[in-house]
Amino acid sequence: MSDSKVIYDEYKSSGFREELLTYLVNPVTQKGVEIGALNNPIVKPTNGDIKFIDYTDTDTLKLKHQAYSDRVNKMVNVDYVWSGSGSLAEIVGDRHCFDYFIASHVIEHVPNMLGWFRGINEVLKHGGIFNLAIPDKRYTFDVNCPLSTVGQLVEADLLLYHIPSIRQMFDHTYYAKNIIPGAIWGGAVDVKALPHTRQLKPPTPCLPLKNREWQPIL
């Protein structure tokens, strides 16, 4: 077993992730939402009043992940379908009704980040808590991906992206690098020399484009 796998397993079993993402939150007494929980929710339905949001419904998610039976068997039921554009309050049917939101490694997949924040603000109580886990791109396959600009965020919001644009999907595929997590964390990698990761699929939610359609360009 690799050192990276050992470290990850220890971290996963430590409860540290759950502790961080429930900071200032009491799931037993408060009403919350987790976005993109899939099969690994921070707050389980048995532990509190929790609702789940994802970009598509439960049946579609199970179909997309059908090759991973353990994942499908543990998948939470999606209460609200929302990808970040349009009013979340209209979907939920109420405003400022939740005490907290949790999103772990979700924001980097959101096509319209400004709309996403706006929608969450519509249904989060005043003074509510929004806990996020955001990956550091310096230690992921996005290490060489350019930083997003304010103009790109505004464009995505004005055009109401609910799936990634062609540019977003192209950039994701073109700049993705083949990394070994343990090595890049240790600083022993020349990131400029890393090879492309050509087998990555476009980010979800996505248009039905196949990876091979990008190959002549790459």
Residue 70 to residues 40, 58, 75: CA-CA distances in angstroms? 11, 15, 9
Domain end: 100, 133, 166, which one? 133
Residues 64 and 158 in one domain: no
Convert the pLDDT of each residue in 21-34 to its tens digit: 999 999 999 999 99
Question: Considering only 122-136, 138-152, 171-185, which range has the smallest mean pLDDT?
Answer: 171-185
pLDDT at 213: 37
Convert the pLDDT of each residue in 100-116 to its tens digit: 999 999 999 999 999 99
Would you give the distance in Å from CA 139 to the centre of its chain? 16
Number of domains in the chain: 2
What share of the chain in percent tops pLDDT 90? Answer: 65
Mean pLDDT of 1-17: 66
> Would you list the DSSP string of 111-154?
S-HHHHHHHHHHHEEEEEEEEEE---GGGSTTTTSPPPPHHHHH
Q: Is residue 218 part of a domain?
A: no
Domain end: 98, 133, 168, which one? 133
Helix/strand/coil (H, E, C) string of 66-108? Answer: CCCHHHHHCCCCCCEECCCCCCHHHHHCCCCCEEEEEEECCHH
Query: What CATH number is associated with residue 123?
Result: 3.40.50.150
pLDDT of 10 > 90? The answer is no
pLDDT of 192 > 50? The answer is yes
Q: Which domain holds residue 87?
A: 3-133
> Which residues share a beta bridge with 50?
32
> Which residues share a beta bridge with 196?
177
Residues 115 and 8 in one domain: yes
Neighbours of 102 (CB within 10 A): 25
Mean pLDDT of 63-67: 95
Helix/strand/coil (H, E, C) string of 175-194? Answer: HCECCCHHHHHCCCCCHHHC
pLDDT of 132 > 70? The answer is yes
Residues 129 and 158 in one domain: no
Helix 150-158 vs helix 113-123: crossing angle, to nearest 10: 70
Among 31, 194, 30, 43, CA closest to 104: 43
| Strand pairing report for 98-104 and 31-35 | parallel
**pTM of this structure:** 0.82
pLDDT of 9 > 70? The answer is no
Among 168, 143, 146, 144, CA closest to 155: 168
User: Tokens at residue 82, please?
Assistant: 């929302």
Q: Is residue 118 part of a domain?
A: yes
